[in-house]
Structure 1
Amino acid sequence: MPFALHLLALAVFAQGTSEFMLSGLGPDIAHDLGVSIPAAGALTSAFAIGMVVGAPLTAVLAVRWPRRPALFGFLLAFALVHVVGALTTSFPVLLGTRVVAALANAGFLAVALATAVGMVAPDAKGRATSILLGGTTLACVAGVPGGAMLGQLLGWRAAFWAVALICVPAMIAVLRSVPASGPGARGDVRTELRALRTPRLRTPRPRTPRLLTVLLLGALVNAATFCTFTYLAPVATEVTGIGEAWIPALLALFGLGSFAGVGAAGRLSDTHPKRVLVLGGAALLLGWLLFALLAGNPLATLALAFTQGALSFAVGSTLIAQALYAASAAPTLAGGLATAALNTGAALGPWAGGLAIGGGLGYRGVPVVSALLVALAFVVAGAASATSRVSDQRCPPVPPIGPAGR
């Protein structure tokens, strides 16, 4: 794998840290800026909305730009708004910086995914995707706890300064390591839009779900992930009965599992995508059900935090790779749509978990909702496959994109 991919992952690490670190900084921000804690929570919502809306829009804008200047520009904007956020004393200004940061993050990810798959062999998109997503998982393991600790020691503004500083070596790396040009380095919006009309999922047979189905599956799997991850701390304290001192270790186990899952998917998603999705998805569904049943057992909770993190990110990263295979002629727009789909799931999952808690199911009902979301993904995949079989009987098959799966 090109070393430049690991440098792009450094930028993804900084952006992932920024996205998740506010969960530990909200009370300090609320106190310092004179707003309520729920109002401070709107900073997280603003970022999520910016990612969902901004991913396809910034991808459309970036299609015609050379990738190295686009990556540098998005990363520079991301760093600058964190400087503004660290300096401002106005909550509305801070809220605005979160929206702009999300737009820059979304644009960077869309172009980074297209750049990553363009730097590797046509049959190595899964490995390239896993390296980029490794930055996000490392943010869960080290960046988020580190940001929270820095905020506790030096104030929440220090965490914003730290994110901006991490972006500096990433920007230098983009200028020095990302190819200036090359095949597909500059695209055309109309060409990529036409390419999105009839993409197919990479598989040994042509009768498979199309791109929108893959994106929907990614949204559902990510919704299941964040449904439980968002409430993992109260599940552990209220249901499992472990002390709050164990929460960082529990979150770290989930992060380590996600890192391991992305790494495993990088080795398997290019050669055995169907096995990863079917077997991994089935194990993920079973794991959420076991979590609901065994949440009162501390050892089971710790073990399942690791395994569910691994399975969730293995299946999720494989779906992203399949979206890029499905739209190999429109990599930038596919990257933007995949980013939007994942963040849609990340926004809907906690909402669904909150409904379960408010509806009387309690915290034990949260992993049940995650299991239902994964089950719905299987239903969607099955319905799409059945529809595709009927369609293939009526018209000649379309050759699959990418190498044959096994």
Structure 2
Amino acid sequence: MPFAVYVLGLGIFAMTTSEFMVSGLMPSLAAEFAVSVAAIGYLISAFAAAMVVGGPVLAVGLLRMPRKRALLVLIGVFLVGQALGAIATGYAVMLVARVITGVASSAFFGVAIAVAVELVGPQRRGRASAVVLGGVMFGTVLGLPATTLVDQLYGWRASFWAVALATLVAGLVVFRVVPSGARPEGMSLRDELAALRNGRLWAAYATSGLLVGGVFAAFSYFSPIFIEVSGFSPAVVPVLLTAYGAATVVGNTVVGRFADRHATPILTFGLGALVVTLAGFALFAGSRPMTVVAVVVLGLVGVSMVPALGVRVMRVADGRPLVNTVHTSVISFGIGLGSWAGGLGISAGLSLTSPLWVGASFAVLGLVSLIAARSGAPERLPVSVG
């Protein structure tokens, strides 16, 4: 596997950390900007919403630009947004910063995967994509708790600058190791758009959005739940987030190994386990042992299902570039919708456990969408993802 593939994973690690770090900084950001916890949760929604719009639009807009140049431009835009967030003096400025970084992040995901595939060839594209997207998992297991810890030691602005530094390092290494002049060839926008006219593809998209939305309705409010409901001290929050991230990495590894041939059964089990775990967490959030168990299980059966979701999409649409970009946007939409919906209950005066019930409801709908799709025509044989 070329070293450049791992460098692209580093870039995604930094950008994923930026996306999720707000959940660990909620108390500090709420105090800084004198807004509610729910309002800070909407910053996650704003980032995800920007990814939803930015991904497909920029995927089309960057078709003619050499891949390396596109990567460097997107890293530059992301750095501007991240720096703006670090110096933000008000909620509105932070919101703008999140939109800028969200748009750049979404486009970077699509271009990075395209570059990785070009570097290794078609026989290893699945494996290369998995390495690049491994940055998402490590952004959860390392980046999120690290930025939370930096916030507690040096303040939230230091957390933003740390992510900017990691992104800058990734950009410098991309400049050094990614080959120049690689251009996308043989892509027809008409064919890409035609591939989206597939009802079964949108059914698969629906399952993806609902599953991820269910997870993030809960995950976005982990920190206040841990502190104010479960009774953990703020110093323990990074440890709990690390446990969640580690469970996500383990779950992703297991799911990735078996997703090629068992994607639908894995998704059925994962969604069912998600419903039970979120409901149980909501009922027993006041118990510290139950909270720890719930956090670990959510890591195992939450976003770790993404490899199976990806295989399912490729089965019905041959893994075309725009199809995968839209899939990323759908997942981002699920993140934003889940974070927003989770905050509605809190804004309405309900308890901090209300996002857990919202997440369980999303998971139920995801399970329904999956079962309904299984009752239709059988899926095609799996496409290898490495």
The interval holding the TM-score normalised by the smaller chain is 0.7 to 0.9
Corresponding residue of 2:63 = 63
Match of residue 289 from structure 2: 299
Q: State the partner residue of 1:369.
A: 358
1:57-206 correspondence runs (5 A) = 57-86=57-86, 92-119=92-119, 127-180=127-180, 187-198=187-198
Structure 1 residues 251-266: aligned runs within 5 Å:
251-266=241-256
For the pair shown, the structure with the greater C-alpha radius of gyration is 1
Query: Contact conserved, 1:150 with 1:156, CA < 8 A, in 2?
Result: yes
Shift in alpha-carbon separation, 1:301–1:177, aligned structure 2, 3 A: same
> Does the Cα contact within 8 Å between 1:17 and 1:163 map onto a contact in 2?
yes
State whether structure 2 residue 328 is matched by structure 1 residue 339.
yes
Residues 1:8 and 2:8 aligned together: yes
Partner-residue secondary structure (3-state), 1:388: coil
Equivalent pairs: percent with the same residue? 36
Corresponding residue of 1:249: 239
SS of 1:197's partner is coil
| Amino acid aligned to 1:300 | M
Mapping for residues 280-295 of structure 1, pairs under 5 Å: 280-295=270-285
How far 1:224 moved relative to its partner?
A: 0.9
TM superposition shift of 1:15: 0.6
Asked whether the equivalents of residues 111 and 335 of structure 1 are also in contact (C-alpha less than 8 Å), the reply is: no
- Quote the offset at 1:58 in angstroms: 1.4
Equivalent position of 2:383 in the other structure? 402
Q: 1:210 aligns with which of 196, 200, 205?
A: 200
What residue number does 1:202 align with? none
What stretches of structure 2 of length at least 5 have no aligned partner? none
Say whether 1:227 aligns with 2:217.
yes
Q: CA RMSD in A?
A: 3.4
Q: Give the 3 Å change call, closer, same or farther, for CA 261–124 of structure 1 in structure 2.
A: farther
- The aligned amino acid for 1:102 is G
**For each residue in 1:99-135, what CA deviation from the matched residue of structure 2 results, as whole angstroms up to 9, or x when unmatched?**
2221111100122233345555757665444433332
C-alpha distance 242-109 of structure 1, shift in aligned 2 (>3 A): same
User: Is residue 41–residue 343 contact of structure 2 (8 Å, CA) maintained in 1?
Assistant: no
Label 1:314 to 1:142 Cα distance change in 2 as closer, same or farther (>3 A).
closer
Letter in 2 for 1:266: G
Give SS of 2:302's match.
helix
More divergent stretch after superposition (66-75 vs 110-119): 110-119
Matched residues, number: 384
Work out whether residues 15 and 105 of structure 1, in 8 Å CA contact, stay in contact via their aligned partners in 2.
yes
**Residues 299 and 85 (structure 1), Cα distance of their counterparts in 2 relative to 1, 3 Å cut:** closer
Quote the Cα distance in structure 2 between the aligned partners of 1:230 and 1:280.
20
TM-score relative to the length of structure 2 = 0.84
Distance in structure 1 (CA, Å) of the matches to 2:210 and 2:250: 21
Work out the CA distance in 1 between the residues paired with 2:40 and 2:173: 34
CA contact (8 A) 2:23 2:222 kept: no
Shift in CA distance, 372/37, structure 1 to aligned 2, threshold 3 Å:
closer
Question: What secondary structure sits across from 1:350 in the alignment?
Answer: helix
Larger deviation: 236-245 or 4-13?
236-245
What do residues 130-150 of structure 1 show as CA deviations (whole Å, max 9, x unaligned)?
433332232223223332443
SS of aligned partner of 2:260: coil
Structure 1: which 5+ residue stretches go unaligned? 199-208, 390-397
